[in-house]
Each structure stands twice: as structure tokens, then as C-alpha cells.
Amino acid sequence: MKAFGQRVRFMRKLEGLTQAQLAECAGISLEHLNKLERGAAAPSFKAICALARALSTEPANLLLFFEPERQGGEASDEARHSDWLKHVSDLGVWHYDPASDKSVMSASLNRLLGRAPRQTEQTGCVLAEFVVSEDKERFRDACEHSRPGAEVGPLPLRVRRADGEARRVILTVAAMPGAEDGSQAVVGCMVDVTEPLHLEDALRRTRDILEVRVHERTRELDRTIARLNEEIAEHEHTARTLRETDSRTRNILDSLPLLIATIDADERYLFVNRHYLHYRGNGLEDCIGRSVIEVMGPQNYARSIPYIRKALAGERAIAELPVMMPDGSAPYLYAQWLPTRDEHGEVSSIFFWAMDISERKFAEEALRKTEERFRLLVENMRELFWIIEADLSISYLSPAFERIFEMPCADAYEKPGRILSRVVPEDRAILERLLRGEWDEPACMRHWLRIENGSGMHRLSVRNYPVSDEGGKFVRLVGIAEDVTDCRLLPDGQDAP
């Protein structure tokens, strides 16, 4: 049992396992395995098979060591007096007595050599028959040169079993005092190391394969690390470029005289530029993440919500609307709400921009009022007022035209030459020159016209005022005609003929 435990311990250490690991793999308790290795418990067949599976070997390989067989007589007595015999494997103990020329082999040695396990008496060279021819000389030299108290070996040899199988063994030989005539007995043992050597070869090959794989994995890991470093550097460069681009974009947006903001689908601010903050009088923390109604107020939100919802529906919205400011002013903004879509085509946010058009609105309002006053003036005055453009088209005729000429203004707008049909033939020359653009003639600036219509003859006092641009070029002609039929005065203050 003790030899079995030693064999199990040897195989376990050869596999690089601890007692706990082997016990777990074999499915036996750690305490029982400890007793088996100490020889304190006898192994069952089930335990032997379980340990063999856990150690990846055959059950017979665990039974290579047995308790030494003690043969009766002198051999047993001599073996008990040999110190090294205590450490010798049961596999292969042999004894040769030259006095009796007898050789005794243990049953385990017979099993090693493929012989029947029985005690036999042979000549001293019977063991050499099993040694391969290349190693026989070394075997004989070891037996011949052995001396009492001095061991020969360990000596590696190769033997061939009776069935022809080659095995590797370690030979140890020692001489012992023999018979009374002073002859020496030779005692030796053979330890079968075929499996351990095979395991060592397998382990060596495994180590070589592992080293190759480790080198390959190391190179692959180095390549992976290098690739990751390149990707990291590329990502860092991309991130740095994005930061620089974002900074430039923000600087551009901050420098524009426009109100710019980004609003998400929940109507919360994602971005506002500096002009927007300055215009609203808010800080950045007062806008980012807050809702539109919180920042703009209920009144402005009510005006903007139709356009925000239109943009969230995927359409561009444009509007001109007043905005109530915290200081009480109400500037006008021209604003656009543009939908921004994600990779799936869904509207994810709104890009908003606006510009202050208050001055334009005020100018338009002032112009509207001026035009209204002008319209009221010319529509209620008795004088005829007209404007002829540089392309000789008539751009305006006051309502007095239809009363005096008894002709719709639309006809005169369409064909200015129709006016001549109401002018007496003697006065048409001056009007033709005006309609041809000859505005630099002094005679054309102040004159009079006689108009014939269904109600009779009308005499008009006419004053024309050419309008020039900055370069002195005439761009239009403005004229006023007064009906002087009743006062019968010529334009120069003289009586009409």
C-alpha cells in the first residue's frame, strides 16, 4: 500500500496537481487520498480506476510499484542488509549468487520481462538475454565491476520483453559478500521508466508546442496592441479634430448677428449661441436643458408653438413675429424652424435661427403711412398727377386723370399713346416729346394742353419735374396738371387766346 501511495504521489506531481485538485478530479475525499499516498489505507478497484482517469493514465500504471517480494534463504537476509534496497522499486529485483551459480528474479521483474511470475533458477547470464544487444556490454561491465559497499548505477538500459516489446529501465547493481569462500553475490534492480520518459517526452513536446504558441500568441498580441494603439491614436486624432471643429463652429455661430438655437423633440434647448443669450439677457445655464416655455415665457411660446410643431412634423416653418422682451420692448424677428433628422429619417431636433428686422419693420410701417398720406392727398386733389419712368412706362396716374381725360387709367398704363387721342392736334407735339423721353427741353417743363372729350374743351396748365440719380441721369418724370378752363390763364400767367 505504501508503494502504491508513492506511485500515486509521483504521478500526481508529474501532472503538476495538488492533492486537493486530484481528489476533486477523481471524485474522492481529500482525506482518503492523503491516506492512500501515505499507505494508511488500501485502495479499492474503483478508487484505482478513478485516480487513473484523473491522472490520464491506465490503472496498471499505478500498480508498477509493489511491496518487495522476500524470497526465503540468503537472498532475503542479504536484501534486508542493503540500505539502498529500501528505496528500490518492486519492479525488477534480482539476485545472483556465483557460488551456487543461481539467479533469482522477483515476480515483478518477471512481469516486466514478460515471463510467468514464478521463481526460477537459471544461469547468471539469463537476465542479459533480455538486454538489447547494444546495451549488453554495459550490463556485463556493471555486474563485473560491482564491489561491496559501492553501487554501480543508476545505468539506463533498454530491455526487450519476451513478447518483443522494448522497455526503458534504470539499472542499479551492488556486490554483497557471498559464501564462506569469499565469493561475491550480485544484487540489482531494474526500474521501468518507460512511461515517465514518455511523459517527459510528451511534456517536452508540449512545452515546445506551448512555447511556439506562446510566441505566436505574443506576436499576435503585439500586433493587436499595435493595432489598438493605432486605433486609439486615430480616435484621439478624430476626437481632437471634432473638438477643434466644434470650437470653430461655435466661434462662427457666436460671431453671427443671428439668434441660433437647437431644440430637441421634447422642446428643450440643446444649444444657443452667444447672440441669443445676449439678446434674451439669459445665461447659458438658464437655457441649456430647459424648455422653450420656461425660457421664452408663455406669451412668446404661444406665438411660436405652431411653427415648432410644424417643424417637428418635418416641415420648415417661417414667420415674422414680435417677441416680448424682459425689458418690455417688442422687437420683430424673422425666424425659421428647420427639422433635423437622425439616421432613421425621424425628426430628432429643430434648428432655429432668427434675425432682428425691427428697423425694416419700422421703415416699412413709416413707408406705409407715407404712402397712405400720399394716396389720400393725390386722391382728393383736383390736379392731375402722374409719374413716367425711364423706360417711358407710366407708373402712376392720379384719379383726376379719369375725370379730365374720361379714360380709364388702366388703358393709359397699358398703352401710353392712347392719351394723345384726347389732346387737340396742335398740342400733341409737346406730349409726344415727353413720351419719347425728351425731358431736357425747357419748353417741355412748363406748358399747357387742350383736352377734348365728351364734355367739351379742357385747358390744362402743366409742370414737369425730371428726377435724376446721383450721376445726373434722368430716372423718372413727375408732372402736375391743373385744369384752368374756368380762369382762362396760360401757364405763364397770360390770357389764353
So what's the pLDDT on residue 268?
A: 92
Long-range contacts of 7-14 (CB under 8 A, 24+ apart): 7/62, 7/63, 7/64, 7/65, 8/33, 8/36, 8/37, 8/51, 8/55, 8/62, 9/37, 11/55, 11/57, 11/61, 11/62, 12/37, 12/55, 14/196, 14/199
Task: Look at the pTM and tell me if it is higher than 0.85.
Answer: no
The beta-strand segments (E) located in 281-421 are 317-322, 332-341, 347-356, 384-389, 394-397
CA distances, 137 to each of 57, 128, 157, 483, 493 (Å): 34, 9, 11, 159, 165
Between CA 263 and CA 141 the distance in angstroms is 101
3-state DSSP assignment of residue 270: strand
CA 451, 455, 456, 462 dihedral sign is: negative
pLDDT tens for each residue of 393-420: 888 888 888 888 888 988 888 888 888 8
So what's the pLDDT on residue 198?
A: 62
The fourth-level CATH superfamily of domain 381-483 is PAS domain (3.30.450.20)
Mean pLDDT confidence for 103-108:
72
Mean pLDDT confidence for 267-293:
83
pLDDT tens for each residue of 44-78: 878 888 888 888 877 767 766 534 434 344 444 44
92 contacts 169 by C-beta, under 8 angstroms: yes
Residues above pLDDT 90, as percent of the chain: 13
Mean pLDDT confidence for 229-249:
89
With 50 as the cut, is the pLDDT of residue 277 above it? Answer: yes
Of residues 128 and 223, more confidence is placed in 223
- Contacts (Cβ under 8 Å, ≥6 apart) of 378: 385, 398, 399
Confidence of residue 5 (pLDDT cuts 50, 70, 90): confident
pLDDT tens for each residue of 164-213: 888 888 878 877 665 455 556 777 777 777 766 666 666 677 777 778 87
Between CA 218 and CA 312 the distance in angstroms is 55
pLDDT tens for each residue of 348-378: 999 999 988 888 888 888 888 888 887 787 7
Between CA 270 and CA 305 the distance in angstroms is 17
Mean pLDDT confidence for 323-346:
88
Which three three-digit cell numbers place residue 298? 408663455
Least confident of 81-95, 137-151, 206-220, 365-379: 81-95
Between CA 168 and CA 132 the distance in angstroms is 10
pLDDT tens for each residue of 442-472: 666 788 888 888 778 888 888 888 888 888 8
So what's the pLDDT on residue 337?
A: 94
Most confidently modeled range among 383-387, 431-435, 440-444: 383-387
444 contacts 464 by C-beta, under 8 angstroms: yes
Biggest CA-to-CA distance, the chain: 193
Mean pLDDT of the chain: 79
For cell 385747358, the residue is 459
Between CA 406 and CA 421 the distance in angstroms is 11
Cα atoms in the Cβ-side hemisphere of radius 13 Å centred on 459:
12
CA 293, 294, 299, 304 dihedral sign is: negative
Which three three-digit cell numbers place residue 118? 514464478
So what's the pLDDT on residue 80?
A: 39
So what's the pLDDT on residue 371?
A: 83
pLDDT tens for each residue of 290-300: 898 988 889 98
Mean pLDDT confidence for 144-157:
73
Confidence of residue 229 (pLDDT cuts 50, 70, 90): very high
With 50 as the cut, is the pLDDT of residue 89 above it? Answer: no
Of residues 256 and 61, more confidence is placed in 256
So what's the pLDDT on residue 126?
A: 66
Confidence of residue 274 (pLDDT cuts 50, 70, 90): confident
What order do you get walking across the sheet with 347-356 strand by strand? 269-272, 259-264, 347-356, 332-341, 317-322
Dihedrals phi, psi of 11, to nearest 5 degrees? -65, -40
With 90 as the cut, is the pLDDT of residue 88 above it? Answer: no
| CATH annotation of 256-361 | 3.30.450.20
So what's the pLDDT on residue 179?
A: 46
Strands 332-341 and 347-356 turn out to be antiparallel
Mean pLDDT confidence for 79-95:
46
So what's the pLDDT on residue 100?
A: 63
Least confident of 107-111, 221-225, 404-408, 454-458: 107-111
Residues above pLDDT 70, as percent of the chain: 81
451 contacts 404 by C-beta, under 8 angstroms: yes
Strands 347-356 and 384-389 turn out to be unpaired
CA distances, 423 to each of 86, 420, 438, 451 (Å): 156, 5, 18, 5
* Whether CATH 3.90.850.10 fits 2-63: no
Give the residue ranges of DSSP H helices in 81-162: 107-112, 136-144
3-state DSSP assignment of residue 322: strand
Confidence of residue 81 (pLDDT cuts 50, 70, 90): very low
| Domain 74-192, CATH class in plain words | alpha beta
Of residues 43 and 193, more confidence is placed in 43
